[in-house]
Amino acid sequence: MTVEYPVEFTFSYEIPGRGYLFSLTWDGECLFLREFAPGQEQQEEIRPELGEWDEFWHRMDEIGLWAWYDEYMVSCDEACLEGDEWEINLVHGDMKVESHGANSYPTTFHQFLKATEELTGIIIEFIQQD
């Protein structure tokens, strides 16, 4: 039997210079979304269907999420106009990833964001647009 729901799911993405924060947390029954931007605040519960979770976990396997490094960091003292920070803690069955970064990402980070947007129906404001 495949475990469909996460054991743990926390994801946060922040652009401090813009006052932007996106956060998802699994509470055992639903994902709790918090999104803050200047002049905007959104908080809601999101309940993906089992099929949506199945597709999400399939995408995580495809992008190699479980093999991400613990840390991705680039100093942004003078190299960046804006900096961002992110953190992911996911546990699904016997698979687990704890990863975070600042101004640097795994090569499949965009695919993770896209899969998360598809799971939740929420567009994430990402500093590094294609």
* pLDDT one-digit tens code per residue, 50-69: 999 999 999 999 999 999 99
Which of 103, 101, 100 is CA-nearest to residue 83? 103
Evaluate whether 110 touches 25 at the Cβ level (below 8 Å): no
- Tell me the domains of the chain and their CATH numbers: 8-120 (3.30.1560.10)
Backbone angles phi, psi at 115, to 5 degrees: -65, -35
What is the Cα–Cα distance from 44 to 127, expressed in whole angstroms? Answer: 23
Torsions phi, psi of 15, nearest 5? -120, 90
- Is residue 88 predicted with pLDDT exceeding 70? yes
The pTM for the full model equals: 0.88
Residue pair 84/103 in contact (Cβ under 8 Å)? The answer is yes
Going by pLDDT thresholds of 50, 70 and 90, the confidence category of residue 22 is very high
Helices (H), 29-108: 50-63
